[in-house]
Amino acid sequence: MTALAHSPVKAGSAAVLVALAVCAIASGQVAGAQVKGVEIVSPSRAVCLTDRRASVRLKAAVLAGADALAYIDNVVWSVNPAVGAVLTAESGGWANVNFSADGVYSVTASVEAEGTVHAASQTVVVGRLPAGEGLAAEWLFEGTGPVLTDTSGHGLDGQLSNSEDRGPGVAGSAYHAQALVSQKVTVEDFPSLPEVTVSAWVKADSVAGRFPRIIDGEEWVFFLGLDGSWVPSLKFARQYDTGTSIWHTPIGSIETGRWYHVAVSWKDGDEAPRLYIDGIEQLVTREREVADNAVAIVKSGTAYLGNDEAGERGLDGTLDELRVYGRELSPQDIAVLSANHAPALTAQPDSLTGGGNLWEPSIAAEDRDAPLPLSYHWDVLEAAGAWTVEDASSESPVFDFAAAGVYKVALDIDDGQSVVRYAWDIAVQGMYRVFMTMRNAALWQRAGDRVEIVLGVEPAPTEPLRLSYSLGGDAVAGEDFVPLPGEVVIQGGETRTMIEVEALTRMSGEARVLTLTLEDSGDYEAEGEAVLVAFTPYSYENWAVDYGFATGVSPAKLAPTADVNADGISNLTEYALGVDPWRDRGESVRKRLPRVSVGGDGVLSLSYIRPAGADPAFYTVGVSDSPRGMSFAPLAAPESVSTNTDGTETVTVTDSAPLGAGEQRFLLLRVSAGLL
């Protein structure tokens, strides 16, 4: 664990020039005679920014004496086009660029020494790559189903042999295969392109397929060499009437298990193709040639992606962003196409503000073509007071801000080739006041009975505020009440929330008490006393006393066999079925009464509704030859219990003996007053 402590940083320490998008900070100097050039060391190649919430970090250095790199402050930065970009120069050769519009930008660092201006530029692609002149086909492998759409607009849609052959790519989805004979993408009516550039992202997971195809056409083939002669390398083959010419990059220039951007540019009449890996032109060697009088095949027809026609050169890996141009692209064009995808957040911080002084963000980032594992660095750019941070190089740091106010927090993510920055304004409001407001309550221990405890906060938080509370007393979770999580969240902008305490059925024993006490936190201060909730067992005695107290009826009318509300159902039956004679009427009562059904096999079943979790010992289902139960005999059959959504449960007991011909039999439910 690492911890950093800092004093306040004042805003306005960096210069920003939006209109011209040119910035410079001049302080440290390098002797003019020592300056040999300028190099942008980060990003180390063109970068593609897919999330405009992030900015791109650039760092320049001068080549000084003995070709050493020196990081100085007197670097002049510019960006072209200036519209849609805000460039901020910083000390140590750094610059930060925010983009508000998609496009292709060139960022330049320059240093003047003894009248000579030394400069270097780097390309930043924001959003999707522009189509570019001469685009003949473009397959991005997005979507679902067996049709692979050609997004160039030329209608060269492909047909996937298996609609499931898609997986994660460098950005979005990609073609994913396992070198199976049946796996390929077929493109009909592919045009003749004797002048062509092919650009793609590819990752081979193994050497299966030996020479797996990127694209295999009538005139030429662009592929990997992984197992065989002149491997591992990137290869290009041109078809002639008498054979095939093949060229390859240096042995070892391609490895399995990692993403590469690969490209080839060729025009009939060239001595050799231009092959590129990650935007860098490679030394090309001819491994097979044809006679001087061989005639190049010029023919349209069917092309295959990820395999050849016979299915013998299948890719075990992933292919993404495959583009074909009907012209030779320049090295600068290839550099843009090969732009490394910058890291991007897939999960923003859990909370951007909070009461108290602690902020514990948690993020997740993704960069599928990253050459190295992602590294993180958190910092505070502008502060209202002193602050500290623990685990500043992790995905989940802990900030402690000393005073209320706004803090600008930055996260730099480095993938080994480029650095992006996310920044947030964190409003620290100080400690919240949190309190409970409720009179002490009493609950029947009958499933579904509940009480709400109000939790209030001042002032209203701007983001969700998590509150913790402890439980005490002799009430037992899972026996007296539904277990509580011990925490609750007040949403941003709200000043209150509820804790709902729900009783469980307990039909005997003594009353018990639950206490809820707010716990202090680094985000808030708890005020007030604990809240008490008393749980009264759902016994017949308690039921009768409560009803008598509420209605003022005489004790005689509350005897188990009496009918206090004159609805034809005894007090004991209403109690056992969870009926409140003060509130429940009509259908709400009738649906709980026992019901007997006869199955197709003549078997009788009795069903009734009681409070969920009621003690089965109080209920007995038996058989009798009289509806009055004169010869009542308990059934040995087990209960079948299903839970309802209203705090009740439905109980069914089945008599295993079928009715005989002419037999009269009754199933009855008995509730024993002696047990109650």
Three-class DSSP labels, 374-389: CEEEEEEEECCCCEEE
pTM: 0.60
For 200-212, the pLDDT digits (tens) are 999 999 998 899 9
Q: Does domain 344-428 have CATH number 3.60.15.10?
A: no
The overall average pLDDT reported for the chain is: 88
Percent of the chain with pLDDT over 70: 92
CA distance 78 to 109: 7
Once rounded to an integer, what is the mean pLDDT over residues 125-146?
90
Q: Which two tokens stand for residue 531?
A: 């809240």
Q: Which pLDDT belongs to residue 399?
A: 93
Listed in sequence order, the residues at least 6 apart from 29 whose beta carbon sits closer than 8 Å to its beta carbon are: 72, 74
**Between residues 429 and 491, which one has the greater pLDDT?**
491
Say whether pLDDT at 23 is over 60.
Answer: no
CATH number of 135-338: 2.60.120.200
CATH code linked to domain 14-126 = 2.60.40.1080
Task: Tell me if domain 14-126 and domain 135-338 are identical in fold.
Answer: no
DSSP 545: H
- 86's tokens: 């805000």
The 10s digit of each residue's pLDDT in 431-444 is 788 988 876 678 87
Percent of the chain with pLDDT over 90: 59
For residue 43, whether the previous peptide bond is cis, meaning omega lies within 30 degrees of 0, is yes
**329: exposed, middle or buried (Cβ count in 10 Å: 0-12, 13-18, 19+):** buried
Question: Which tokens belong to 140?
Answer: 């991005």
The whole-number pLDDT of residue 634 equals: 93
What dihedral do alpha carbons 349, 352, 358, 363 form, nearest 10°?
Answer: 10
- Give the mean model confidence (pLDDT) for residues 161-166: 84
3-state secondary structure (DSSP) of residue 485: coil
Q: Which residue has the higher pLDDT, 549 or 501?
A: 501
pLDDT band for position 356 (50/70/90)?
low
SS3 337: helix
Fold of 594-675: Immunoglobulin-like (2.60.40)
582 contacts: CB under 8 Å, gap ≥ 6: 547, 550, 551, 565
How many CB atoms sit inside 10 A of residue 377's CB?
A: 15
- Contact of 196 with 220, CB cutoff 8 Å: yes
Q: Rounded to whole angstroms, how far apart are CA atoms 189 and 155?
A: 10
Domain boundaries, the chain: 14-126, 135-338, 344-428, 432-538, 594-675
3-state DSSP assignment of residue 385: coil
CATH number of 432-538: 2.60.40.2030
Closest C-alpha to 578, from 605, 613, 553: 613
pLDDT, greater one: 255 or 20: 255
Residues 471-481 have pLDDT tens digits of: 999 999 999 99
Nearest Cα residue to 307 out of 425, 211, 171: 211
Task: Tell me: pLDDT of 567 over 90.
Answer: no
Reply yes or no on whether the pLDDT at 67 is more than 60. Answer: yes
> Distance between CA atoms of 72 and 559, rounded to whole angstroms?
96
